[in-house]
Structure 1
Amino acid sequence: MAFHDICFPASLSFGALGGPERRVEIVTLANGHEERNAPWSQSRRRYDAGLGLRSLDDLHDLLAFFEARGGQLHGFRWKDWADHKSCAPSATPGPLDQPIGQGDGTTRDFQLRKAYASGGTTHWRPITHPVASTLRVAVAGTERHDWTLDGGRVTFATAPVAGTAVTAGFEFDVPVRFDNDAIRVQVSNFQAGEVPSVPVIEVRA
């Protein structure tokens, strides 16, 4: 499967239903206690793009996008309006938003990531598809511009000094594909308010 570095129309993803899901295997023991195991280290996100359709023109754009991706064949970018920034949704990403590593005087490559913290527990999500034009990076609190971006990895021209904090701020997309090889819609029903189901699922990239 190839990945097309193009974003699903943001006007259509706005209003879509979806979010992260976890896989947890639960076994209930004879004494009533449970054993729980999580085989996935990261969540996998699902969305329904059909809920973002508001007009026949929207449907036209969806069909064109679907055909150009070959149905489920090629992946693409998806903007999750509920979670697409390194900061709060109402804020603007800044270079101090997320810690992505610490300098050791040798390492030049740092993976972008986002922290999800609650109740003393923090989960780190690797960010593989940042929006390049929004990325800002700092070392020891000072913004740097001597870096390049490859996927979700930042590479500095010179390695950050040992002990210095490396931070970044950015917007990002979710790599996804269509989760169905068919889109079925009846125009009369669509005009009456019935929307088609267009499932989209995150891919590991």
Structure 2
Amino acid sequence: MFSQVRLKLLPSIKCMFDEPIQVKVAGLRPRQVVNMRAKLTDDKGAVFSSSATYRADGSGEVDLKRDPSLGGSNVGVEPMGLLCSMRPHTMHKIYLKTNAINPQVVKFSVNEEEGRLLAEMTNERLLMRDGVTRISVNEGNIRLVLFTPPEKGPFPALFDIPTFISEARPSLLANKGFMVLPMAVYNKKGDNITETHLDHFEEAMNFLKQQPKVGDGSVEGEVVRSRWVW
């Protein structure tokens, strides 16, 4: 059975981080019930996963774009449900991507109801499109990373202030034509944080304003909680 079942990720096993993929399974028995899973490990070692149950059609095929989940992490027709419904294995963990150069690897699998593996495939989700630059900044008190789109500019600029540093959001914004400088409220585990030096944030903001590719010298700042992005 393992050799007959085929798991397909369309249009390709490689895609951009925020692009949809079509997940299909072929080679099952007609009306066979299977469990489909997605799993990843972020750059801090936190494991996220999801699972949902599907019933094959009369041809032994499952298509997440067409077929409803019968239960699990998501219910109903959700083409990207296995990705959107991922949850951490450890409570209170948030998704962190500390280096956008490396793609996020997601492993999809198809299993019988009894748990036997039928098929699996790996999806590489790229965070930076061709030409986007990721430059380390080491100036004054600034120890950050600047993301810049590939074109000549000028670009609108964003000063991103998440709770903890993650490069998923800044890299995706750079893909869309923004120059982004992320600076986390906490660069380390914040259990014993007693003070925050606001002058460091002002220094980083001024650095971003001085970049030659910034449109008119103006910068938009946003305080956000780093979160899962698809």
Q: TM exceeds 0.5? A: no
* Greater RCO structure (CA 8 Å; 6+ sep): 1
